[in-house]
Structure 1
Amino acid sequence: MDLSGSLNLKEIPDLSKATNLETLNLNGCSSLVELPSSILNLNKLTDLNMAGCTNLEALPTGKLESLIHLNLAGCSRLKIFPDISNKISELIINKTAFEIFPSQLRLENLVELSLEHTMSERLWEGVQV
């Protein structure tokens, strides 16, 4: 599902019935403030692109188990790092300022990590590479 560039998109509808969704592209949805908790039910979601979601303040609590690619570049209002799958291989968190990270963040499958202009002072606390 590609909703990139939807500048006036403020909320995403319930996605719990989109059980086969593998890719969700919200790149540049600058009015989006949060994702619905129904995103946690997307068991086949492997690619989530939220780059440029500059007003994003919250992601649902819970683990996105199947996620492999996550792009949160420019989500500078997002303070709590999401509890992501240990399957994650690509993580892009440029221009972010996370303050809280999961206590057991595991990145054993990480292949690509991009941290340009990251503003977090607690970035590596509790991370196991």
Structure 2
Amino acid sequence: MAGLLDIAPLTEKVRVGGATVEVSGVSAGGIVAMIARFPEFRMLMTGKDVDVASLVSMGGDAVAAIIAAGVGFPGDEAQEAAAARLPLEAQADILAAIIKVTLPNGIGPFLEKLTALLAVKGGAEALAKVRATKSH
């Protein structure tokens, strides 16, 4: 039987200029930090499609923070500053890879699992309230 240390993390390699960046995705802790820091990110995580265009529309600071978290440096100001200086096309390529490895089955299946987990703890109503509040 495999243990957690035996599971290789999902990664994606993205070519940016003459270098290759390895994207490992954003953890649950990273998602929570993003939600607390960027309210727009919460809207994406409550049922809206997560796509590169939606992320880019959130603004440069959020995009840079997501990129830094997705390459393994959540909250690192120097990494966020470097991500902010990347050309838009490079940012979009990295964001697409982050989405792919963070939510490989998409936002819908993720939200279904989350709803099921919250229902076990009696939290399905709380999730519904968050969705209703954010849809206004």
Q: TM-score range by the shorter chain?
A: under 0.3
TM-score (structure 1 length as normaliser): 0.24
TM-score normalized with structure 2 length: 0.23
Q: Which has the higher helix share?
A: 2
